[in-house]
Structure 1
Amino acid sequence: MKLYNLKDHNEQVSFAQAVKQGLGQQQGLFFPLELPAFESTDIDALLEMDFVSRSSKILSAFIGDEIEPAQLQQRVAAAFAFPAPVAAVTDDIACLELFHGPTLAFKDFGGRFMAQMLAFVSGADEQITILTATSGDTGAAVAHAFYGMDNVRVVILYPQGKISPLQEKLFCTLGGNIQTIAVEGDFDDCQALVKQAFDDEALKQAIGLNSANSINISRLLAQVCYYFEAVAQLPQEKRNQLVISVPSGNFGDLTAGLLAKALGLPVKRFIAATNANDTVPRFLADGEWRPHRTVATLSNAMDVSQPNNWPRVEELFRRKTWRLSDLGFGAVTDEATQAAMRELAGLGYVSEPHAAIAWRLLRDQLQDGEYGLFLGTAHPAKFKESVDAILGQSLPLPAALADRVDLPLLSDTLPASFAPLRAFLLQQQQ
């Protein structure tokens, strides 16, 4: 598999290089040089397979001969060791539940697959530092995926006071090879610090720097697989007019869905669902890219004003000669999010803010004869405080959360400045 740097098309790397390197020169994202596509008969055959076998075929179409099929399937089986069920909400809308993994969020798929790939492509004595920023769920997924792995140190930046307490408990209580830093700023500040670190060649070499954000191609490709799993669970008559609404912050999940469509998955259209951090909806409405300062919302994992993956979305639309005007979009206020959560509860489905935003826009934009899926990206209990208050009930905690709720936080605190972070990374190196 060859990938090219979106900021410098002359920089081309293998899949293994892209996994280890994370970002290209000038902080450029890697993108597949060839876009594989399945025939419709191949799609039908794929949809008849089990999740792991199908996912191995999909990933092999991208990765090519860099990993033997049997080895790849073994790695996929280790990563995707939990289901992604489709739960009906109404006659024409269902939720793809992506929160049945160990950290109760969709990022378990990408985080665990990346851990498997990094272990495969790295040398036994190669020291690696994973530096990543999280707006809530990436941190836990990456921390648990790499926890206890030899020669891998994980440093996670998150905006202090801007993620839910239970999200924080999931990844800031592990210790060992997992180090967490509460940054005095917002997620965009955290993301900017990660990019600065990748621009520092001396630092990169000194600590073996890598990233586990959705900028890493292995995470992105893993997410393609559960879109196929969703369609495989639908009866044939519901596959023909399928609309998928994706809660979007950094836009990795939407990029993966669009790659699934490029492979041949029958999706009529996608909806990019955001909160008040609405850079992309405004861009799709008027063609002007004008990021505002990030604002804190109920759906904190989507509090991103400068989404990293948007260049990949634009590149895919360009390569496939699709029209951006065909992409559905919308932004939902906190007040409307709460109303959507209550409405879903009235339908017998308890959800959290991110999925509720995707459902609200799907409900509003679904046309007669269409069938809608919205992505449930996190377990409602990860947002217990807000869900309990909005719905007037007390959610029980799943074991993954209950086991950590009383553990002390082990985080350091740093200002949103690169010099202290650089010093931390060099001084704290294990």
Structure 2
Amino acid sequence: MKLYNLKDKNEIVNFSQAVKLGLGKKQGLFFPTELPILNKETLKKLLKMDFINRSSKILSILIGDEIKEEFLFKFVKKSFSFPIPKLKKVKKNISCLELFHGPTLAFKDFGARFMAQILSHLNKNEITTILTATSGDTGAAVAHAFYKIKNIRVIILYPKGKISKYQEKLFCTLGKNITTIAIDGTFDECQSLVKEAFNDCELRKITGLNSANSINVSRLLAQICYFFEAYSLIPEKQKKKELIISIPCGNFGNLTAGLLAKSLGLKIKSFIAATNSNDTVPRFLKTGLWNPKNTISTISNAMDISQPNNWIRVEELFKRKNWNLKKLGFGSVSEKETTSTLKELRNLGYVSEPHAAIAFNLLNKKIKKKQFGLFLGTAHPAKFKETVENILQEKINIPKSLLIRDKLPLLSNKLKLNFKKLKEFLLKK
């Protein structure tokens, strides 16, 4: 597999190099030079496979012979060793694709755990520092995926006071090779610190920096797999209809993965890019002007991102495939609407959380009779216990994985929004 740097197309690397580098020159993201298209017969065979075998085959097709298929199968089996995605019917023509049955109760378990397996395989005896920023769910997924892995230390930045209690408890109570830092700022500002670190050649060389955000191509490729699983789970009578998938978008990695699944040949009619009040992309698609505003804190905090990194990949894919970007569905949902949608879902018999509620809201508005819609359930409602209970006025069940961390002390460090201080911290660790 060859990939090129979207900011410097002369920089071409293989899959292993892209995983180990994380970012290319000028902080550029890597993108595949080839976009394979699966024929109908191959697709048919894939959709009959179980999740592990199918995922291994898809990743093998994408990565090529750089990593032997037998190794990929082993990595996939270990990475996805938790309940597979589930489809829950909400309305006659709308279901939720639940991706939150992993160890940290969020969709990011898929990509983070696969990346951990790949990087551990490639790392040999080198010391690697994973530096990543989180708006809530990435931190937990990455921390648990890399916990106690030899020669890899993880540093996670997160916006102080701007993630839920349980999100914080999941990744700030581990210790060992996991270090967490609460930053006085927004997620976008945390992300800027990460980018500044990658721009510092001295720091990058001394610490062996890498990133585990969805900017790392290994995470992105792993996420393609559950879109194929979703299609295989759709009832036969619904497969005759056009498939619309609504995705709650923060950094736009999930949308990028879904579009790559469509590029491979999966029968997806269209997507809806759903955001909260941090609506840079919806405004761009409406006006043609890229005008990020200051990030607003919302109850769907994992989407509180005004400058999504993966959007450049979305644009590149549309350009490469000669797709019309104007046909991408989009929209933003206010706090008031998010609250009312959670109540609407509850009345339909489904307890959800703010991020999925936003995706459902827009799907419910835009879907047509001849279509079947999926919206992504990206996190367990219990991760937003206080918010959901306050809105629905009822108690929700807390999974054991959260309860066991509830009484553990937070081990986080605290830093001002200052790169010099962060650099000093990284060099001391």
TM-score w.r.t. structure 1 length? Answer: 0.99
Find the counterpart in structure 2 of residue 368 from structure 1: 369
- Summarize the alignment of residues 82-161 of structure 1 with structure 2, pairs less than 5 Å apart: 82=82, 83-123=84-124, 125-161=125-161
Which residue number corresponds to residue 162 of structure 2? Answer: 162
Deviation at 1:75, TM superposition (A): 0.5
Which amino acid in 1 is paired with 2:58? I
Alignment of 1:54-93 (within 5 A): 54-82=54-82, 83-93=84-94
The structural deviation recorded for 1:416 is: 1.1
Match of 1:44 in 2: 44
Identity %: 62
Deviation at 1:92, TM superposition (A): 0.3
State the SS of the aligned residue for 2:402: helix
Shift of 1:236: 3.1
Q: State the secondary structure of the residue aligned to 1:190.
A: helix
Cα offset, 1:36, TM superposition? 1.1
Matches of 1:173 and 1:282 in 2, distance apart?
38
* Alignment-mate amino acid for residue 230 of structure 1: A
Q: Give the aligned residue type for 2:186.
A: D
Distance in 2 separating the partners of 1:223 and 1:343: 29
Aligned match of 1:35 = 35
1:121-150: CA deviation from partner (whole Å, max 9, x where unpaired)? 111x21000000000000000000000111
- Mapped pair 1:378 → 2:379: yes
Distance in 2 (alpha carbons) for counterparts of 1:220 and 1:116: 14
The residue number in structure 2 matching 1:272 is: 273
Q: Which amino acid aligns with 2:266?
A: L
Q: What one-letter code is carried by the residue in structure 1 that aligns with 2:398?
A: L
Residue equivalent to 2:412? 411
Does residue 285 (structure 1) correspond to residue 289 (structure 2)? The answer is: no
Deviation at 1:120, TM superposition (A): 1.2
Does 1:323 pair with 2:306?
no
- In structure 2, the residue corresponding to 1:273 is in which secondary structure? strand
The residue that corresponds to 2:231 in the other structure is: 231
Q: CA deviation at 1:42?
A: 1.3
Distance 1:325 1:39 in 2: 27
Query: How far apart in 1 are the matches of 2:3 and 2:121?
Result: 18
TM-superposition CA deviations, 1:272-324 (whole Å, max 9, x none): 00000000000000110000000000100000000000000000000000001
| 1:44 Cα deviation after fit | 1.4
How far apart are the structure 2 equivalents of 1:39 and 1:322? 19
TM-aligned CA deviation for residue 111 of structure 1: 0.4
Q: Give 3-state SS (helix, strand or coil) of 2:406's partner.
A: coil
Instruction: Name the SS of the counterpart of 1:325 in structure 2.
Output: helix
SS, match of residue 404 in structure 1: helix
1:190-216 residue CA offsets vs partner (Å, 9 max, x unmatched):
000000000011101101100000000
Which residue in the other structure is 2:307 paired with?
Answer: 306
What secondary structure does 1:100 align onto?
coil
3-state SS in 2 of match to 1:408: coil
What secondary structure sits across from 1:393 in the alignment? Answer: coil
The two structures have a TM-score, normalised by structure 2, of: 0.99
Q: Deviations over 1:23-78 (max 9, x none)?
A: 00000000000011101221111111000110011111110001111110011000
Please state if 1:391 is matched with 2:392. Answer: yes
Partner Cα distance (1:227, 1:370) in 2: 17
User: Counterpart of 1:217?
Assistant: 217
Tell me the residue number matched to 1:9. 9
Question: Which residue number in structure 2 is paired with residue 246 of structure 1?
Answer: 247
Question: What 5-or-longer segments of structure 2 have no aligned partner?
Answer: none
235-244 or 323-332: which moved more? 235-244
In the TM superposition, 1:157-196 aligns within 5 A as 157-196=157-196
- Find the counterpart in structure 1 of residue 22 from structure 2: 22
Alignment partners' CA distance in 2, 1:38 and 1:235: 22
Partner SS state of residue 104, structure 1: coil
Shift of 1:370: 0.3
SS at match of 1:119: helix
Distance 1:165 1:91 in 2: 35
CA distance in 2, matches of 1:395, 1:356: 16
Q: What SS is found at the alignment partner of 1:89?
A: strand
Q: CA deviation at 1:235?
A: 2.4
Distance 2:74 2:129 in 1: 25
**Which portions of structure 1, spanning 4 or more consecutive aligned residues, are displaced by more than 4 angstroms?**
none
Counterpart AA for 2:45? A
**CA RMSD after TM alignment:** 0.6
The match for 2:355 is 354
State the Cα distance separating 1:394 from its structure 2 match: 1.0
**CA distance, structure 1, for counterparts of residue 419 and residue 300 of structure 2:** 27
Instruction: Report the alpha carbon displacement of residue 396 of structure 1 after superposing the two structures with TM.
Output: 1.9
Instruction: Give the whole-Å Cα distance in 1 for the aligned partners of 2:258 and 2:221.
Output: 10
CA separation in 2, counterparts of 1:132 and 1:191?
8
The letter of the residue matching 2:341 is A
State the distance in 2 between where 1:149 and 1:42 align: 36
Q: Deviations over 1:327-374 (max 9, x none)?
A: 000000011000000000000000000000000000000011100000
Q: For residues 158-185 of structure 1, what are the alpha-carbon distances to aligned partners after superposition, in whole Å with 9 as ceiling and x for unaligned?
A: 0000000110000000001000000000
Q: Which deviates more from structure 2 when the two are superposed, residues 232-241 or residues 258-267? A: 232-241
The 2-side partners of 1:109 and 1:335 are apart by 31
How far apart, in 1, do the equivalents of 2:263 and 2:323 lie? Answer: 10
